[in-house]
Structure 1
Amino acid sequence: MASAPVLDHRLAVPDDDTVAKAAEAVDILGRFLRDPAPLTATTLLLTAKGEDPTTIELPAPALHLLADILVQIANGHAVTVAPVHAELTTQQAADLMNVSRPYLVGLLEARKIPHRRVGNRRRVLLTDLLEYKRRDDTDRLAVASELAAEAQRLGFDY
């Protein structure tokens, strides 16, 4: 099997036609996944070139992941897939978090996100990055809730 890059930086926001096709596929796949019986699916792939069809069997976890991917595309979002054990460069990690690389490096140097050095380069495990993002999102939500409660207490809610 060919090795793929950890993150594809050629991401593009899907166009209207792609969004519509993804939404239709989500509907069909969703109905299939709601049926408790199937654990795998046999899929027939057809090409526009008129070649002979190819049949593949997809395991249930792959079908659920495919459904998740299609939902994101149907919502107009660009999607990438990375192995959980992946090590990211600081630029890849910053891109994934939608922050600048210097800001991410600051988080690494402050030991807020675990990392390791490979020569003079830093590497971040995707799992560590996602855990930091989960904690940060939780903290932000708590602060926003506190601010909303304080605004309500002071009568600033409209």
Structure 2
Amino acid sequence: MASTVARPQNVSHLVEPPQDLREMLELARFLENHESPALLLGPDGEQIPLPMQAYEVLRQVVSAMERGASVSIEPVDRRLTTQQAADLLGVSRNTLIRLLDEHELAFERLGDSRHRRLRLHDVLAYRERKNAERRSRLDEMTRQAVEDGLYDVDADTYKEVLAEARKN
């Protein structure tokens, strides 16, 4: 999938949670207790209703920061370099290039160059697919362990049963 990207790259801004989380916890409690958006109050006393979409983003940001997580808000159509995409997925750049070559992820080329760009949306969708596959495999392994009576046994017994299964 090749096309030309005419837009400059967006700059990512990471916001760290505050050292003292008391105000964040207070805001989180406030947002949890109110289902509809509040008013935004300016320093001059002017009030404006907060649109529901902005309110939902605020709730998600506050929830993440309350847990001590850093936050970055990016447009989903933002284009990432191969290194940025690899970092986001937690894989090496070489692994990401292999995924691109195997058509696991969509990408675009910058003009006639060899440089590839990936949409943030596509990278996040791929990550979610892979996470869902991992959860499914883990669920299946857990189900099998329960069926085999191995889910609640101690580690030594599990190792013995596993060694026996490998012999067979």
Q: Name the TM-score, length of structure 2 as normaliser.
A: 0.73
Return the alpha-carbon distance in structure 2 between the equivalents of residues 59 and 148 of structure 1: 44
Return the alpha-carbon distance in structure 2 between the equivalents of residues 95 and 15 of structure 1: 24
- The equivalent of 1:106 in structure 2 is 98
Trace 1:33-52 onto structure 2 (pairs within 5 A).
34-35=35-36, 41-46=38-43, 52=44
Trace 1:4-83 onto structure 2 (pairs within 5 A).
5-8=10-13, 11=14, 13-17=16-20, 19-32=21-34, 34-35=35-36, 41-46=38-43, 52=44, 55-83=47-75
The answer to whether the Cα contact below 8 Å between 2:40 and 2:49 also exists between their aligned partners in 1 is: yes
The answer to whether the Cα contact below 8 Å between 1:43 and 1:55 also exists between their aligned partners in 2 is: yes
Identity %: 32
Q: Deviations over 1:50-87 (max 9, x none)?
A: xx566554311001101111100001111111111111
Count of residue pairs the alignment pairs up: 143
Q: Name the TM-score, length of structure 1 as normaliser.
A: 0.77
- The one-letter code of the counterpart of 2:104 is K
Return the alpha-carbon distance in structure 2 between the equivalents of residues 43 and 142 of structure 1: 43
Structure 1 residue ranges without an equivalent (≥5): 47-51
After the TM superposition, which parts of structure 1 deviate over 4 Å for at least 4 consecutive aligned residues? 52-57
Structure 2 residue ranges without an equivalent (≥5): 1-7, 153-168
Kindly indicate which of the two structures has a greater share of residues assigned to strand.
1
SS in 1 for 2:150: coil
- The one-letter code of the counterpart of 1:130 is L
Q: 1:42 to 1:152 in 2, by over 3 A?
A: closer
- Structure with more relative contact order (C-alpha pairs < 8 Å, separation 6 or more): 2
Return the alpha-carbon distance in structure 1 between the equivalents of residues 106 and 144 of structure 2: 34
